[in-house]
Amino acid sequence: MPETTTPAASTPDLTVLRAADVAVGDEVPGRTIHVDRATLVQYAGASLDRNPIHWDETFATQVGLPNVIAHGMWTMGAAVQVVVDWVGDAGRVLSYSTRFTKPVVVPRETGADVTVSGVVKDIDADGRARVELTVTFDGVRVLGKCIATVALAS
């Protein structure tokens, strides 16, 4: 019988951002995140938030919404991924908070684009940086007071 070997599990190569490489006022690389109905249905299944305002156009409009809207927690999670990618490790996000200010309307035909940008507002002596995110849909802020605190590497 031929001998077989299994490759050793590899550890991901994380490039973690160092405090010495970050300054107040630095911009976090932003991006535009597309969301469509399929994404909302998948998120509803994963989160167990199956409220029909997130997938049923008829229901959403009957309760006074302009159309189906994205889950607020999906929007919040998609936005913080920009910070995670920037700092290099999700475990370095120490805290994250926001206020939901406007819904992200997701038409069946086109979906929606959420734009996320960020800026470093301060860095303390322990290498914790406070990042303020700007999250918009259709030119309007959908998350307010959106702040992530991250631990930078020394």
- Residue 44 covered by a domain: no
Whole-number CA gyration radius for the chain: 19
Distance separating alpha carbons of residues 51 and 142, to the nearest angstrom: 19
Segment 125-136, tens digit of pLDDT: 999 999 999 999
CB 111 within 8 A of CB 40: no
Tokens encoding 43: 């998120």
Q: Would 65 be classed as within a structural domain?
A: no
Over residues 60-79, mean pLDDT: 97
Average pLDDT of the residues in 12-35 = 89
CATH number of residue 91's parent domain:
3.10.129.10
Does 93 reside within a domain? yes
Name the nearest CA neighbour of 153 among 69, 87, 76. 87
Determine the 3-state secondary structure of 1 from DSSP: coil
Do the domain assignments include residue 12? no
The residue segments making up the domain with residue 102 are 19-35+71-151
Reading the block at residue 84, the tokens are: 């995670």
Question: Is position 131 within any domain?
Answer: yes
Residue 41 falls inside a structural domain? no
What pTM value is reported for the model? 0.86
Say whether pLDDT at 30 is over 60: yes
Judge whether 154 and 122 are in contact, CB under 8 Å. no
Residue among 64, 41, 35, 73 at smallest CA distance from 54: 41
E strand or H helix that includes residue 43: helix 37-47
Q: Does residue 47 fall inside a structural domain?
A: no
The predicted structure's pLDDT at residue 5: 39
Average pLDDT of the residues in 18-44? 96
- 112 backbone dihedrals φ, ψ, rounded to 5°: -145, 155
Digit-coded pLDDT (tens) for 81-118: 999 999 999 999 999 999 999 999 999 999 999 999 99
Instruction: State the chain's maximal CA–CA distance in angstroms.
Output: 69
Residue 82, domain member (yes or no): yes
Task: Round to whole Å and give the CA distance between 46 and 77.
Answer: 13
Helix, strand or coil, per DSSP, at residue 13: coil
Domain count, the chain: 1
% the chain with pLDDT above 90: 88
The per-residue pLDDT for 1 is 40
